[in-house]
Structure 1
Amino acid sequence: MTNLSVNLNKVALLRNTRNIGIPSITRMAQICIDAGAKGITVHPRPDQRHIRPGDVYDLEEVVTAVEFNIEGNPLEASFMKIVRQVKPTQCTLVPDTPDTFTSDSGWDLTKDQERLKPIIQELQSLGSRVSLFMDADIEQISLVPATGAERIELYTEPYATAFREKQNLEFIWQQFANAAQKAQELGLGVNAGHDLNLDNLAKFCTIPNILEVSIGHALTAEALEMGFSHTVQEYIKILSKSA
Structure 2
Amino acid sequence: MPEPFKIPIEFAEEKIEPVPIKTESASEKISEDIYLATALENLAKISRTAAGTIDVSSSNEKSGQMRQDRSQEDIAKQARENFMATNQYLFSERARRFTSVDELREFVEGVARKINNGITKEGVLFRQHDSTKYPYTLSGELALSMQEFYETLFRKMDDPSSSPEELAAWIEYRMNLTDHFFADGCGKTSMAMANFTLMRSGHSLPTYPSRKELFEHAPKNRRLADSEDLQFNDWLAYYKSFFETKKEEASSGE
The bucket for the TM-score relative to the shorter chain is under 0.3
Which structure: larger Rg? 2
Normalised by the size of structure 1, how large is the TM-score?
0.25
Q: Which has the higher strand share?
A: 1
Q: Which has the higher helix share?
A: 2
